[in-house]
C-alpha cells in the first residue's frame, strides 16, 4: 500500500515545483490570500477538472470531507468557496497559461519517440479553433454575436501523440486566422489547417521560414496553371498542378508558386481541393495528410465532454480563463502521468479511474494493473450443480 502521495499528487508531479514557482513569481497577486497559495489554487482547480466538480461549493464539500488527505495531495491551504472565488477573480490567468506551456513542452519531449502519421519523419501539426459557448446573461463581457457569448480556444495539435503544443484564448469574435501570427514555426514541419486559415501573406511567412502547409483552396481564389502532372484516377486523385496566384493582391502576398491537388474521397465521395507549398511528396500523400486534420476536431470534442468546459465556476473574465487553462493543464498532466508510469489504456480510461481515486493513497500503476486469472482453476462442475443443471 502506498503510504505517501495520493493519486492527485502523483498526477500533479508532472509539473516540478521549480517550474511552478517561476511562473507564479512572474504573476503575483496584488493582494495575496495566505489561506490559499498559488499552488493550492492550481491543485484545487486541477482536482475539479479531473473529478468533474459542478461548483465551488461542490469542490469545498468534497475536499473538506477528505481533509486528512489534502496534505498528501499537495494542498496545504484552506479550500473554501470564498477563497476560491477570490483567487479565480484576482490571480492572473496568464500564470495558468504559462503552466500549460510548460506542460506542453514536457509532454512533447516525452512523446517524441511516437511514430508520425503516414510514416513521415517530420513534425506534423494540425491548427484549428473551437468556440466555448457561455451564457450571455451571466457573462455579457464575452458577447460574440447577437445575444450569444463565447470565447475562442486556438490549438496547435501535435499529431504524433494528439497533444497540444501551443494554445491561445481570445474573444469569440476574433478570427482564427490571426493565430497564424502566434504559433511557433519549426522549419521542415507540416501545418495542416482548414480553409479558414487561407491568408496568403501569413502562409508565405510559413513558407519563408522553411515550413510546409496543407490547407484547402477557396472557390473564389484567382490563379492560373503553370504545370500539370499525371495522376492515378483510381486513387481518387483528379489533378496535381503547379499554380500561381493571378490577382494583384495575391501576387503581392504570395509571389511564389503553389501546388493544387484535387481529390475525391472514396469513403464520403466529397470533392476536396488542397493547396500546399510541398512539391516533393506525391499528391495522394498530401491528401492523406489533410485527412489527419480531423484529429484536432476529436481533441476538442474530448476535452469538452470529459473536462469541465461547459459550466463555469466564475462569471468573471479572469475566472473563466483560469478554468479553461486548468482544463488543458489537467489533460496534459494525465498524458504525462500515462507516459511516465507506462499506464495502459486510453486517456479516457485513465481519467475515469483517476476521477474516482483522486484522493486515494495508491501507486498509479497499481490502479491500472490487470489481474491475470487465466491460470486459476474454476470448479465449473460444482457451480452447475448449484444452479440445478
Question: Does residue 71 lie within any of the structural domains?
Answer: yes
* Residues composing the chain: 389
Residues 196 and 323 in one domain: no
Question: Phi and psi of 133, rounded to 5°?
Answer: -75, 140
User: Could you give the CA distance from residue 40 to residue 86 in angstroms, rounded to a whole number?
Assistant: 13
Asked if 105 and 128 count as a contact pair (C-beta separation under 8 A), the reply is no
Q: Which of 298, 323, 338 is the last residue of a domain?
A: 298
Residues 284 and 169 in one domain: yes
Residues 143 and 82 in one domain: no
Question: Does residue 389 lie within any of the structural domains?
Answer: no
User: Could you give the CA distance from residue 316 to residue 136 in angstroms, rounded to a whole number?
Assistant: 12
Residues 204 and 228 in one domain: yes
Residues 317 and 294 in one domain: no
Asked if 240 and 229 count as a contact pair (C-beta separation under 8 A), the reply is yes
Q: Which of 270, 298, 326 is the last residue of a domain?
A: 298
Residue 231: strand, helix, or coil: coil
Residues 63 and 132 in one domain: no
User: How many C-beta atoms surround the C-beta of residue 16 within 10 A?
Assistant: 11
Q: Which of 275, 298, 321 is the last residue of a domain?
A: 298
Question: Does residue 231 lie within any of the structural domains?
Answer: yes
User: Could you give the CA distance from residue 162 to residue 104 in angstroms, rounded to a whole number?
Assistant: 11
Question: Does residue 214 lie within any of the structural domains?
Answer: yes
Residues 84 and 142 in one domain: no
Which residues in 159-291 belong to E strands, given as ranges?
163-171, 190-192, 212-216, 223-229, 237-245, 258-264, 271-276
Question: Does residue 230 lie within any of the structural domains?
Answer: yes
User: Could you give the CA distance from residue 333 to residue 351 in angstroms, rounded to a whole number?
Assistant: 11
Question: Does residue 101 lie within any of the structural domains?
Answer: no
Closest to 7 (Cα-Cα) out of 307, 334, 360: 360
Residues 227 and 328 in one domain: no
Domain with residue 210: its CATH number is 3.90.350.10
Question: Does residue 274 lie within any of the structural domains?
Answer: yes
Tell me, what DSSP letter sits at residue 370? P
pLDDT in tens, the chain (389 residues): 445 789 999 999 999 999 999 999 999 887 777 788 999 999 999 999 999 999 999 999 988 888 888 877 778 888 889 999 999 999 999 999 999 999 999 999 999 999 888 888 899 999 999 999 888 888 888 888 778 889 999 999 999 989 999 999 999 888 999 999 999 999 999 999 999 999 999 999 999 999 999 999 999 999 999 999 999 988 999 999 999 999 999 999 999 999 999 999 888 889 999 999 999 999 999 999 999 999 999 999 999 999 999 889 998 999 999 999 999 999 999 999 999 999 988 888 899 899 998 988 889 888 887 634 344 444 434 433 333 33
Asked if 206 and 259 count as a contact pair (C-beta separation under 8 A), the reply is no
Into how many domains does the chain fold?
Answer: 2
Question: Does residue 388 lie within any of the structural domains?
Answer: no
Sign of the Cα pseudo-torsion (299, 305, 311, 314, in order): negative
User: Could you give the CA distance from residue 340 to residue 389 in angstroms, rounded to a whole number?
Assistant: 50
**Domain residues for 122?**
114-298
Residue entry with cell 496534505: 71
Residues 123 and 251 in one domain: yes
User: Could you give the CA distance from residue 353 to residue 347 in angstroms, rounded to a whole number?
Assistant: 10
Tell me, what DSSP letter sits at residue 233? G
Render pLDDT for 359-374 as a digit per residue (tens, 0 to 9).
888 898 888 876 343 4
Residues 144 and 189 in one domain: yes
Amino acid at each position: 500500500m502506498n503510504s505517501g502521495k495520493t493519486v492527485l499528487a502523483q498526477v500533479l508531479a508532472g509539473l516540478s515545483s521549480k517550474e511552478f514557482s517561476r511562473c507564479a513569481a512572474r504573476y503575483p497577486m496584488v493582494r495575496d490570500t495566505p489561506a490559499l497559495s498559488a499552488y493550492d489554487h492550481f491543485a484545487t482547480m486541477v482536482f475539479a477538472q479531473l473529478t468533474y466538480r459542478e461548483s465551488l461549493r461542490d469542490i469545498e464539500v468534497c475536499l473538506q470531507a477528505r481533509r486528512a488527505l489534502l496534505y498528501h495531495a499537495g494542498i496545504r491551504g484552506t479550500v473554501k468557496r470564498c477563497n476560491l472565488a477570490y483567487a479565480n477573480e484576482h490571480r492572473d490567468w496568464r500564470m495558468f497559461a504559462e503552466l500549460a506551456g510548460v506542460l506542453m513542452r514536457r509532454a512533447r519531449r516525452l512523446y517524441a519517440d511516437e511514430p508520425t502519421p503516414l510514416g513521415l519523419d517530420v513534425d506534423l501539426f494540425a491548427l484549428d479553433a473551437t468556440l466555448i459557448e457561455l451564457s450571455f446573461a451571466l457573462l455579457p463581457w464575452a458577447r460574440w454575436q447577437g445575444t450569444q457569448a463565447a470565447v475562442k480556444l486556438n490549438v496547435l495539435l501535435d499529431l504524433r501523440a494528439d497533444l497540444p503544443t501551443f494554445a491561445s484564448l481570445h474573444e469569440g469574435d476574433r478570427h482564427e486566422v490571426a493565430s497564424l501570427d502566434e504559433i511557433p514555426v519549426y522549419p521542415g514541419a507540416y501545418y495542416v489547417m482548414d480553409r479558414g486559415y487561407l491568408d496568403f501573406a501569413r502562409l508565405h511567412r510559413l513558407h519563408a521560414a522553411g515550413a510546409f502547409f496543407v490547407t484547402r483552396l477557396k472557390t473564389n481564389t484567382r490563379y492560373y496553371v503553370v504545370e500539370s502532372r499525371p495522376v492515378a484516377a483510381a486513387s481518387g486523385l483528379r489533378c496535381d498542378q503547379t499554380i500561381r496566384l493571378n490577382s494583384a493582391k495575391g501576387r503581392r502576398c504570395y509571389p511564389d508558386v503553389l501546388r493544387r491537388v484535387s481529390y475525391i474521397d472514396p469513403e464520403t465521395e466529397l470533392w476536396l481541393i488542397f493547396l500546399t507549398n510541398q512539391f516533393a511528396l506525391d499528391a495522394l500523400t498530401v491528401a492523406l495528410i489533410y485527412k489527419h486534420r480531423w484529429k484536432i476536431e476529436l481533441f476538442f470534442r474530448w476535452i469538452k465532454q470529459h473536462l469541465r468546459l461547459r459550466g463555469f465556476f466564475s462569471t468573471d473574465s479572469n475566472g473563466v480563463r483560469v478554468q479553461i487553462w486548468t482544463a488543458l493543464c489537467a489533460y496534459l498532466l494525465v498524458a504525462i502521468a500515462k507516459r511516465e508510469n507506462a499506464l495502459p489504456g486510453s486517456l479516457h480510461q485513465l481519467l475515469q479511474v483517476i476521477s474516482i481515486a483522486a484522493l486515494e493513497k495508491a501507486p498509479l500503476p497499481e490502479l491500472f494493473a490487470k489481474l491475470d486469472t487465466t491460470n486459476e482453476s474454476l470448479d465449473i462442475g460444482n457451480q452447475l450443480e448449484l444452479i440445478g443443471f
